[in-house]
Structure 1
Amino acid sequence: MLDAIRAAREALATEHLIQPRLRGEREALRVLLATRHGAVLASTAAINQLKALIVSAPDELRAELRKLKRPAQITHCVHLRDRPAQDIEHRMTARAMRCTAQRVQALQAEAKELENEILALVRQQAPELLDLFGVGPITAAQILVSWSHQGRFRSEAAFASFAGVSPIPASSGLTNRHRLNRSGDRQLNRAMHTITLIRVRLDPATKTYVARKIAEGKTARDAQRCLKRVVCRQIFKILERAEGSQLIEAEQLAQAA
């Protein structure tokens, strides 16, 4: 009760209230992301179940699957068939493996189909995001879901705070430093984190940037925090500019008509 009262007072004292998210295309992306996430989690659970079945399977079945990699194990289990000459343990284990492997393939196909739908929507709304290094359809969709529309955030700093990548002072005594922000939209923060991980691993320019920050005395974690802030600034500018250009084009078409 006290926390609710305190939160209400802080909201009333805020000069710039954040705008609510839009529905329409943004909501379409959100439900697709949520459904795909559920399919991925269910697929992971089914894969773990299949691994457990393989570990406890009869020696003959386990020998067939031991040297195969996971995709090959799933394909092999899908084609397992009951043999009357085998004992009941072998036949029922093979049936359980076949059902579980079929479930894995169905969930993976569902997740892939949903990802294609997400990619098509992202290309319609903000194709510029997909041109950024390290940004894929899933991270781009999450960014669009959290950002929602132009003007929702009063500034790039507000968007960074919402994404949980704004620096928080953590100085003490003679130490002058900042720490990671643990607040904000954690799904958006996760998308930013994924982008930075890909860039640190594959992008030469990002490797140079991180090395320079470390040479300045920052830790690897602090360098990654700075990189998240840079990525957030870049994404915000692209989104605001892309939305503004779309509005201008719509106005021009309306005037021409």
Structure 2
Amino acid sequence: MTSLTDLREVVDVVIGVDTHVHTHSAAVVDARTGGVLDEITVEATADGYDQLVEFADQHAALRAWAIEGTGGHGAGLTRHLDRRDEVVIELDRPQRAKRRNGAKSDPLDAIRAAREALSRPRLGGPRSGGDRQALSVLLAARRSAVNAATDAQRQVFSLVIAAPESIRERFRGQKLPAMVKTAATLRVHLSWDVETTTTVIVLRSLARRARGLAEEAAEHEKALKAIVRSWRPDLLEQLGVGPIVAATVLCAWSHPGRIHSEAAFAMLAGVAPIPANSGQVTTRYRLNRYGDRQLNRALHTIVLSRIRYDETTRHYVARRTAEGKTTREIKRCLKRYIARDLYRLLEHRPIMA
């Protein structure tokens, strides 16, 4: 679904849905008045989704669905509605402080979702499935493997530091990767005491776990690269954009028309400056700490790569430094420019088969 500007101009009712693991609560809200017309709670199953559609058919044919968690608890319902060509609007789950008087219940959250969709100046549909969802799954799995491998490596290092001297001397002078390699090949001797034996067994187990997880992460990265190459190989041609960065950008962007402008894409990435003006001061801005932090990190990776390898970027950094800008401020500016360029590339360059 492309971006909408005002639901009240195109639908009679908005059906807000608060999604959970086992049940979904829905509320039908009149698009003109904001009044609640009906409510229902169904099971989060195929039969429950059919029941929701039948419930919606009792009220109006011109309708839109405002769903919380379209990529999580509401993914099944979103796919079900998409197959029926229903209009689906993606909403984030609310922060507790934003709920009226702290009130919380599933029906109330469903009503809030519908009214929030009616009040927003711009609306967008949920992220697409297919290649984008495959990239999202692979990114999550790779991130988990990398984090677990890093934890295992740190544990190897800590155990080596506290190990008996007869074991510790085998690792002396080694960097962490070499430590992991050495630990993975350790053998137990019958003459060792229980402390030494146990330490060696655990070191070997952790090292082999770290190596296995590293191999798993590499396989996920290989699969990511294959999908990106078949979907948007033009991204990989950009300086500083590798398969992980490209996959992260594609997961956030999803499909043409979902994000209505380059400014919105910058806001999504958390690189749009937030005005912090007061009185006659009109040139002050605050650091944006919101948005998709994974996308923000991907842009930061591109910036670091270009500062190191791109002559034009280095000249820009030198010029802005001479103007009195700090390194952090310069990186923020670069991230904003890169977000603009990536958005234009994604939206306007023909997608290659």
TM-score normalized with structure 1 length: 0.88
**Distance between the aligned counterparts of 2:226 and 2:306, measured in 1?**
24
Percent identity of equivalent pairs:
48
Aligned length: 246
Displacement after TM superposition at 1:24 (Å) = 1.0
**Distance between the aligned counterparts of 1:211 and 1:81, measured in 2?**
55
Instruction: Confirm or deny: 8 A CA contact 2:263 2:272 kept in the other structure.
Output: yes
Displacement after TM superposition at 1:111 (Å) = 0.6
Displacement after TM superposition at 1:3 (Å) = 1.1
RMSD (Å), alpha carbons = 2.1
- Which amino acid in the other structure matches residue 284 of structure 2? R
Instruction: Confirm or deny: 8 A CA contact 1:161 1:184 kept in the other structure.
Output: yes
- Going from structure 1 to structure 2, the CA distance change for 1:117 and 1:80 (only over 3 Å counts) comes to same
Aligned residue number for residue 112 of structure 1: 218
Among 311, 314, 330, the residue aligned to 1:223: 330
**Distance between the aligned counterparts of 2:100 and 2:342, measured in 1?**
35
Aligned residue number for residue 276 of structure 2: 170
Aligned residue number for residue 121 of structure 1: 227
Instruction: Confirm or deny: 8 A CA contact 2:275 2:284 kept in the other structure.
Output: yes
Unaligned residue ranges in structure 2 (runs of 5+):
1-95, 102-111
Instruction: Confirm or deny: 8 A CA contact 2:184 2:205 kept in the other structure.
Output: yes
Aligned residue number for residue 299 of structure 2: 192
**Distance between the aligned counterparts of 1:168 and 1:213, measured in 2?**
20
- Going from structure 1 to structure 2, the CA distance change for 1:175 and 1:220 (only over 3 Å counts) comes to farther
Displacement after TM superposition at 1:245 (Å) = 4.2
- Going from structure 1 to structure 2, the CA distance change for 1:60 and 1:245 (only over 3 Å counts) comes to closer
TM-score normalized with structure 2 length: 0.65
Judging by fraction of residues, say which structure has more helix: 1
Aligned residue number for residue 103 of structure 1: 209
Displacement after TM superposition at 1:179 (Å) = 2.9
Judging by fraction of residues, say which structure has more strand: 2
Question: Which digits, 9 at most, give the CA deviation of each residue in 1:16-41, with x for residues without a partner?
Answer: 21221001110100010001111111
Unaligned residue ranges in structure 1 (runs of 5+):
250-257
Aligned residue number for residue 344 of structure 2: 237
Higher Cα Rg, which structure: 2
**Distance between the aligned counterparts of 2:252 and 2:100, measured in 1?**
26
Among 194, 197, 202, the residue aligned to 2:309: 202
Greater RCO (Cα-Cα under 8 Å, separation 6 or more)? 1
**Distance between the aligned counterparts of 1:228 and 1:2, measured in 2?**
31
Displacement after TM superposition at 1:5 (Å) = 5.2
Instruction: Confirm or deny: 8 A CA contact 1:26 1:148 kept in the other structure.
Output: yes
